[in-house]
């Protein structure tokens, strides 16, 4: 008898591996040749798949360099919505993100190369920022659903719309707290990655990540011994 759960797990692992291979190939080629000079065909060949397969994972050429994974965001949001009600929202968001960041240490070289690509191709940086902002709003929606402040709507049923500030989506219905928590959490991830990358070899990313969220949970009090004349905080 086939084990459907095991088969599904294997298929999911293969999908993630293929997507990661395509993103890595794209970033490596772009770091060497410039993103504008790298084709979908070259990326696909380097990853050992067909160009048709490329478009099963990315909507466009540029998306591969930006490395935004919609499925990761969907898993984080689902975890936030479905976590036990007794858990504090910050703890829920932290653990949902920690699960998806478990392999960051293996990707350090790719993160560095992607930073180089963004420096050479600012339009990709802007595209990445836009994608991250959209993910942030969707995380806020999941937090609002968890708190009962908004109903859960599938992506295809979300109305969107603009608020009174031009070019800013209208998220007023979500409430201030979900928007703030989502923004703080996504910023905390970026700070944790950047701080960890800047440390000496041997520093653990999970430890850095959890120190960042411990500061948030404590309300960001000033660390002991840090002040106008004190040494800089190390976390």
Residues of the chain with CATH 1.10.357.10: 68-220
Mean residue pLDDT of the chain comes to 85
CA distance 103 to 105: 6
Q: According to the model, what pLDDT value does residue 92 have?
A: 97
Whether the pLDDT of residue 67 is over 80: the answer is no
Pick the CATH number of 68-220 from 1.20.1260.10, 1.10.4080.10, 3.30.210.10, 1.10.357.10: 1.10.357.10
Checking 28-31 for CB contacts under 8 A at 24+ apart, the result is: 28/110, 28/113, 30/65, 30/113, 30/117, 30/120, 30/121, 31/113, 31/114, 31/116, 31/117
What is the tens place of the pLDDT at every residue in 124-152?
A: 989 988 888 999 999 999 999 999 876 66
CA distance 41 to 49: 9
Q: According to the model, what pLDDT value does residue 2 have?
A: 42
CATH T-level assignment (fold) for domain 1-67: Arc Repressor Mutant, subunit A (1.10.10)
Q: How confident is the model at residue 5 (pLDDT cuts 50, 70, 90)?
A: very low
Q: 30 and 62 in contact (C-beta within 8 Å)?
A: no
Cα radius of gyration (the chain): 20
Q: According to the model, what pLDDT value does residue 8 have?
A: 54
Q: How confident is the model at residue 115 (pLDDT cuts 50, 70, 90)?
A: confident
Q: According to the model, what pLDDT value does residue 32 have?
A: 95
Nearby residues of 162 by Cβ (< 8 Å), 6 or more positions away: 168, 169, 170
Q: Strand locations in 14-154, DSSP E?
A: none
* Mean local confidence (pLDDT), 154-180: 69
Residues of the chain with CATH 1.10.10.60: 1-67
Q: How confident is the model at residue 194 (pLDDT cuts 50, 70, 90)?
A: confident
């Amino acid at each position: 008898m086939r084990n459907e759960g095991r088969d599904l797990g294997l298929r999911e692992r293969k999908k993630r591996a293929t997507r990661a291979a395509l993103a890595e190939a794209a970033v490596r080629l772009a770091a060497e040749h410039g993103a504008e000079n790298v084709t979908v065909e070259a990326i696909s060949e380097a990853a050992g798949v067909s160009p048709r397969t490329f478009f099963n994972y990315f909507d466009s050429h540029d998306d591969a360099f930006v490395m935004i994974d919609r499925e990761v965001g969907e898993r984080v949001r689902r975890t936030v919505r479905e976590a036990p009600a007794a858990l504090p929202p910050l703890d829920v968001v932290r653990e949902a993100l920690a699960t998806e960041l478990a392999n960051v240490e293996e990707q350090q070289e790719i993160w560095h190369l992607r930073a180089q690509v963004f420096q050479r191709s600012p339009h990709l940086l802007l595209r990445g920022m836009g994608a991250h902002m959209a993910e942030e709003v969707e995380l806020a929606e999941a937090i609002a659903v968890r708190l009962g402040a908004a109903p859960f709507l599938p992506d295809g049923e979300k109305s969107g719309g603009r608020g009174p500030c031009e070019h800013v989506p209208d998220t007023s219905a979500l409430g201030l707290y979900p928007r703030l928590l989502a923004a703080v959490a996504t910023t905390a991830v970026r700070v944790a990655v950047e701080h960890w990358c800047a440390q000496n070899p041997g520093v653990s990313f999970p430890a850095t990540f959890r120190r960042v969220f411990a500061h948030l949970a404590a309300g960001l009090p000033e660390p002991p011994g840090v002040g106008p004349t004190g040494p800089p905080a190390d976390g």
